[in-house]
C-alpha cells in the first residue's frame, strides 16, 4: 500500500473556517480539501436541501421528451419503459414506471435478457415493442450508442427517448430526445448523475405541468439513492442531495420491495455502505443469475407479502451468485498462477463456461489480489464477452477505445466497462490491451494507494469530533469517509487475530503517555500481527461499534506499518 497524505489547505483559510464553524482545525482542513471553504458552503454541505435540486428543464432535449410523452398520453399510445439489467437500469425502470403508472395506464416494462440479448437496447426488444403495439420506448441507463437500433425502430414507426449517463460517442442516436448530461452540447449544471438520476429528472419534469413540486417526488428517491450507491458515481453536488434524502426514505418509509429485502437481512438503520453491500448485490443478483425482470417486479410490487416472496427468490439468486463468484475467482487465480510468465501490466483471463453474470465481480476480486486493469472473458453465443475493471487513476474506457479495431461493441465508464469481440480477435486484443496499458499507465498506479485526509493524535478523537465526521455522510467518490493516520501507537497487549481462519486483527491501541485505549479492528489484516509488538503507524477511518446496547467509537484499520 502507498500511503499518501492529501495536500493540506492554506493555513489562513482553515483557521478562518474553523472559527466560523466553531470546529477544530482538523475538521476545517478536511472541509477545505473538499472545496467547502465558507460558512455558506458548509451549510449546504451539512444540511442538504431540496432547493439544491436543479430545474430538470436545464437538461438538453427535456422539453422535447416531455412533449412527446404528453402526446403519447393524449393519443392513448402504448409506452414501453426499457432499461439495463443492472442496479442502475432496474431501479431507473422501476422509478419511471412507478411514476407514470400514477398518471397513465398504458405502460409496460422491458429488461433485456443478459444472455440472449446482452447489454443495452436490442433488436429483440424493438421487435417485442412492434409486436405488442408500443409506439414509444423510454430507454434508461442505456442507448447513447444505439445508433443503428434507433434507426431500426424508426423504420418500424417506434420513437425513442433515451435517458443515459454513459459517455456519448462522436455521433448521437437520432432519437426524439437524448437526455444525457454528458452530451457536449448539454449545459445542465451537474453531469455526474447516474442513469436512474436522469430518469428522476424526466419524471420531475413531467410533474411540472401537473403542479407537482420536488417534495412530491421525495418518495421516489429511495431508488435513486440505491442507484447512486451501486453505480459508484461522485457523491457530491446534486447526487449527494438525492442520496441524502433517498437514504431517509429507505430508513423511514421504504417501498415494499426494499422492506422485503430488509426482512431477509434483519437490518434496521442503513447507511450508504449498507446500501452498497446489502441492497445492491441482491437487486443485481436477479439480472446476473435469472432475469432483471425479477428486480423490477420486486421494486414495483404494491403488496408487502408478495414483495417478501420476491425478495426470498432474490435471496436464493444472491446465494447462487456468491457460490459462482467464489468458484470462478478460484479458477481465474489458478489460470493466472499457471501463466505467471505472461504477467505484465494488465490481467486478461478467459474460460468459455464462466457465468456471464458474475465476470464483473470476478474482475473486481482479481484487482483486489493483483491490482492491475483487468478483463474477464467468457463465451456468449458465437462471440466472447468481457467485463473490464480498472485501478484507481487509470481510464480503462480510453484504453479499450485504443483497441477498437479488435472489438465488436463496448461501453462503460472510466473504471468499469463491458465489451464483446469475435473469438479469432481475442489474442490480438489481449496483446494490444497489454501494450496500451504498459504505454499509458503511470507505474505507481499499480500499487494500491490509501489517500489520507489528516494526520492526527488519538486524543483528538472526541465524541464531538466523531459526530461531525458522521454528519459528513453520505460518503462516496469525491466525498469519501475521512481517513486518518496516527504514528507511534502501541497495542495494550491484548491484540489478537480473530475470525474463523484468523484473517482479521483486533487491537486496543493507545499513544504516548495518554493511557486511554481505542478499540481497533482490521479486516484481512491478520497477517500483520507481528508488526504490533512494538510502536507502529496506522491508517484508519472511524466507525461506531455497538455491543450489548453500548455504543463506542472504533477505529477501522486500513493498513499498518
Q: Is residue 75 part of a domain?
A: yes
* 438 and 455 share one domain: no
Identify the domain containing residue 381 by its residue range.
339-446
* 273 and 399 share one domain: no
Q: Give the pLDDT of residue 342.
A: 63
Q: Which of 147, 228, 157 is nearest to 190 (CA)?
A: 228
Give the number of other CB atoms < 10 A from CB of residue 206: 23
Q: Give the pLDDT of residue 341.
A: 59
Q: Is residue 177 part of a domain?
A: yes
* 167 and 265 share one domain: yes
E-strand ranges in 16-140 read 78-83, 107-110, 134-140
Q: Is residue 36 part of a domain?
A: no
How far is 393 from 513, CA to CA, in rounded Å?
40
* 70 and 109 share one domain: yes
Q: Is residue 428 part of a domain?
A: yes
Give how far Cα 232 sits from Cα of 194, 244, 272, 438, Å.
Answer: 9, 15, 11, 26
Mean pLDDT per block of 10 residues along the chain (561 residues) reads 91 95 95 95 94 97 98 98 95 98 97 86 97 98 95 98 93 97 96 97 97 97 97 93 97 94 80 92 89 92 93 92 94 89 86 93 94 95 94 94 94 87 97 96 94 96 94 94 96 90 94 88 93 94 86 94 94
The residues, any chain, with a CB within 8 Å of residue 110's CB and separated by 6 or more, are 80, 81, 82, 83, 125, 128, 129, 137
Q: Is residue 49 part of a domain?
A: no
* 265 and 181 share one domain: yes
CATH number, domain with residue 132 = 3.90.1640.30
- DSSP, collapsed to helix, strand or coil, labels residue 105 as coil
How far is 360 from 358, CA to CA, in rounded Å?
5
| End position of a domain, from candidates 411, 446, 481 | 446
Element (H, E) at 414: none
Q: Is residue 148 part of a domain?
A: yes
The bridge status of strand 454-455 relative to strand 484-491 is parallel
- DSSP, collapsed to helix, strand or coil, labels residue 384 as strand
In the chain, the number of structural domains is 3
How far is 109 from 104, CA to CA, in rounded Å?
14
* 275 and 142 share one domain: yes
163 phi, psi to nearest 5 deg = -120, 105
* 142 and 238 share one domain: yes
Q: Is residue 82 part of a domain?
A: yes
Provide the grid cell at 491: 497495542
* HSE value, Cβ hemisphere, 13 Å, CA-based, for 50: 12
* 242 and 275 share one domain: yes
Provide the grid cell at 71: 402526446
- For every residue of 9-45, DSSP letters joined together read PPHHHHHHHHHHHT--HHHHHHHHHTT--SHHHHHHH
The residues, any chain, with a CB within 8 Å of residue 212's CB and separated by 6 or more, are none
Q: Give the pLDDT of residue 282.
A: 93
Provide the grid cell at 281: 448485490
* 344 and 421 share one domain: yes
* 156 and 96 share one domain: yes
How far is 113 from 115, CA to CA, in rounded Å?
5
Are 288 and 317 in contact by the 8 Å Cβ rule? The answer is yes
CATH number, domain with residue 382 = 3.10.310.30
- DSSP, collapsed to helix, strand or coil, labels residue 375 as strand
Q: Is residue 39 part of a domain?
A: no
> Can you give the C-alpha Rg of the chain in angstroms?
25
| End position of a domain, from candidates 283, 315, 347 | 315
The residues, any chain, with a CB within 8 Å of residue 430's CB and separated by 6 or more, are 348
How far is 42 from 35, CA to CA, in rounded Å?
10
| End position of a domain, from candidates 315, 331, 365 | 315
* 144 and 126 share one domain: yes
How far is 112 from 125, CA to CA, in rounded Å?
7
- For every residue of 425-460, DSSP letters joined together read GHHHHHHHHHHHHHHHS-GGGGS-EEEESEE--GGG
* 293 and 307 share one domain: yes
Amino acid at each position: 500500500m502507498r500511503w499518501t497524505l492529501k495536500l493540506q489547505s492554506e493555513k489562513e483559510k482553515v483557521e478562518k473556517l474553523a472559527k466560523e464553524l466553531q470546529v477544530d482545525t482538523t475538521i476545517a482542513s478536511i472541509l477545505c480539501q473538499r472545496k467547502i471553504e465558507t460558512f455558506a458552503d458548509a451549510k449546504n454541505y451539512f444540511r442538504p436541501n431540496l432547493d439544491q435540486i436543479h430545474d430538470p428543464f436545464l437538461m438538453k432535449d427535456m422539453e422535447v421528451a416531455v412533449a412527446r410523452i404528453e402526446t403519447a398520453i393524449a393519443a392513448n399510445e402504448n409506452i414501453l419503459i426499457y432499461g439495463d439489467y443492472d442496479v442502475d437500469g432496474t431501479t431507473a425502470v422501476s422509478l419511471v414506471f412507478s411514476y407514470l403508472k400514477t398518471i397513465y395506464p398504458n405502460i409496460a416494462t422491458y429488461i433485456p435478457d443478459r444472455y440472449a440479448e446482452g447489454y443495452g437496447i436490442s433488436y429483440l426488444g424493438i421487435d417485442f415493442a412492434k409486436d405488442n403495439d408500443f409506439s414509444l420506448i423510454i430507454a434508461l441507463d442505456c442507448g447513447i450508442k444505439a445508433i443503428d437500433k434507433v434507426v431500426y425502430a424508426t423504420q418500424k414507426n417506434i420513437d425513442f427517448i433515451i435517458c443515459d449517463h454513459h459517455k456519448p460517442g462522436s455521433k448521437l442516436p437520432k432519437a426524439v430526445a437524448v437526455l444525457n448530461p454528458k452530451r457536449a452540447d448539454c449545459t445542465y449544471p451537474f453531469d455526474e448523475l447516474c442513469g436512474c438520476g436522469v430518469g428522476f429528472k424526466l419524471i420531475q419534469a413531467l410533474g411540472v405541468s401537473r403542479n407537482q413540486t420536488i417534495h412530491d417526488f421525495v418518495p421516489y428517491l429511495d431508488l435513486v439513492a440505491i442507484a447512486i450507491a451501486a453505480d459508484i458515481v461522485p457523491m457530491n453536488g446534486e447526487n449527494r442531495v438525492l442520496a441524502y434524502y433517498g437514504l431517509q426514505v429507505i430508513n423511514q418509509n421504504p417501498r415494499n420491495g426494499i422492506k422485503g429485502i430488509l426482512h431477509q437481512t434483519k437490518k434496521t438503520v442503513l447507511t450508504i455502505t449498507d446500501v452498497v453491500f446489502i441492497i445492491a448485490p441482491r437487486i443485481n443478483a436477479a439480472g446476473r443469475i435469472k432475469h432483471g425482470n425479477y428486480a423490477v417486479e420486486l421494486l414495483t410490487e404494491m403488496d408487502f407479502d408478495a414483495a417478501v416472496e420476491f425478495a426470498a427468490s432474490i435471496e436464493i439468486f444472491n446465494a447462487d451468485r456468491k457460490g459462482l463468484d467464489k468458484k470462478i475467482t478460484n479458477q481465474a487465480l489458478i489460470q493466472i498462477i499457471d501463466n505467471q510468465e505472461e504477467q505484465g501490466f494488465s490481467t486478461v483471463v478467459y474460460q468459455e463456461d464462466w457465468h456471464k453474470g458474475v465476470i464483473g465481480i470476478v474482475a473486481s476480486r482479481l484487482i483486489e489480489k493483483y491490482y492491475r486493469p483487468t478483463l474477464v472473458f467468457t463465451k456468449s453465443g458465437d462471440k466472447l464477452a468481457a467485463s473490464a475493471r480498472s485501478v484507481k487513476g487509470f481510464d480503462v474506457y480510453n484504453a479499450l477505445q485504443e483497441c477498437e479495431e479488435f472489438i465488436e461493441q463496448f461501453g462503460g465508464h472510466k473504471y468499469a466497462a463491458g465489451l464483446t469481440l469475435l473469438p479469432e480477435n481475442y489474442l490480438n486484443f489481449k496483446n494490444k490491451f497489454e501494450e496500451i496499458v504498459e504505454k499509458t499507465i503511470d507505474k505507481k498506479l499499480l500499487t494500491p494507494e490509501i489517500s489520507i485526509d489528516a494526520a492526527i493524535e488519538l486524543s483528538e478523537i472526541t465524541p464531538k469530533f466523531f459526530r461531525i465526521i458522521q454528519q459528513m455522510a453520505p460518503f462516496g467518490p469525491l466525498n469519501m469517509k475521512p481517513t486518518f493516520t496516527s504514528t507511534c501507537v502501541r497495542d495494550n497487549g491484548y491484540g489478537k487475530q480473530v475470525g474463523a481462519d484468523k484473517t482479521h486483527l483486533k487491537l486496543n491501541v493507545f499513544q504516548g503517555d495518554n493511557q486511554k485505549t481505542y478499540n481497533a479492528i482490521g479486516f484481512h489484516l491478520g497477517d500483520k500481527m507481528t508488526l504490533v509488538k512494538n510502536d507502529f503507524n496506522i491508517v484508519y477511518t472511524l466507525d461506531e461499534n455497538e455491543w450489548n446496547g453500548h455504543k463506542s467509537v472504533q477505529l477501522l484499520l486500513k493498513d499498518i506499518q
